[in-house]
Amino acid sequence: MTKLSNLRPALGTMPTRLGTVGPADERERSALRSKTEPSFKWYNSARWKKLRMSVLVRDRFTCQRCKLVEPDTSKLVADHIIPHRNDPVKFWDGKLQCLCRNCHSGAKQAEEKAIPTIKGCWY
Ligand SMILES: [Zn+2]
């Protein structure tokens, strides 16, 4: 009769059956996004940087929600009032507003997620 103490644990030696489900880290995730989301490339373009800055200047570096005046432009976002959802017309020609990072990542993102999507149409 085998004693229980002689049995080796089998869990650690079993091969995984799950494989990799998604990107492993932020670099991989970023590389995947640049291939699948056209807006990822648009945000890195000189055209966007110029457009973004024109919005921040027009709105006088003032968050259009909380009215915070922020001199550090890295803490401001040129926000698409109507979400572009990778549509080039909405991305480039849609109305933009200056938001602080807090307002953009908080309430605004929650609102966008709450809009139901129907087969690529977002409203
Ligand atoms: Zn704000």
pLDDT digits (tens, 9 = 90+) for 54-113: 999 999 999 999 999 999 999 999 999 999 999 999 999 999 999 999 999 987 677 777
From 50, 51, 58, select the one nearest 84 (Cα to Cα).
51
pTM of the model: 0.65
105 CA → ligand 1 middle, Å: 10
pLDDT at 6: 62
Mean pLDDT value across residues 27-36: 74
12 CA → ligand 1 middle, Å: 50
**What mean pLDDT is reported for the chain?**
82
51 CA → ligand 1 middle, Å: 20
pLDDT band at 123 (very low <50, low <70, confident <90, very high): very low
pLDDT at 45: 95
Buried/exposed 17-47: b ≥16 CB within 10 Å, e otherwise:
eeeeeeeeeeeeeeeeeeeeeebeebeeeee
State both tokens at 49. 């940087």
73 CA → ligand 1 middle, Å: 13
55 CA → ligand 1 middle, Å: 15
Per DSSP, which regions of the chain are E strands? 76-80, 96-100
31 CA → ligand 1 middle, Å: 30
Q: What CATH code would you report for 35-123?
A: 3.40.1800
Backbone phi, psi, residue 104, to 5° = -65, -45
Q: How far apart are CA 89 and CA 104, in angstroms?
A: 21
pLDDT at 27: 80
SS3 109: helix
46 CA → ligand 1 middle, Å: 25
34 CA → ligand 1 middle, Å: 28
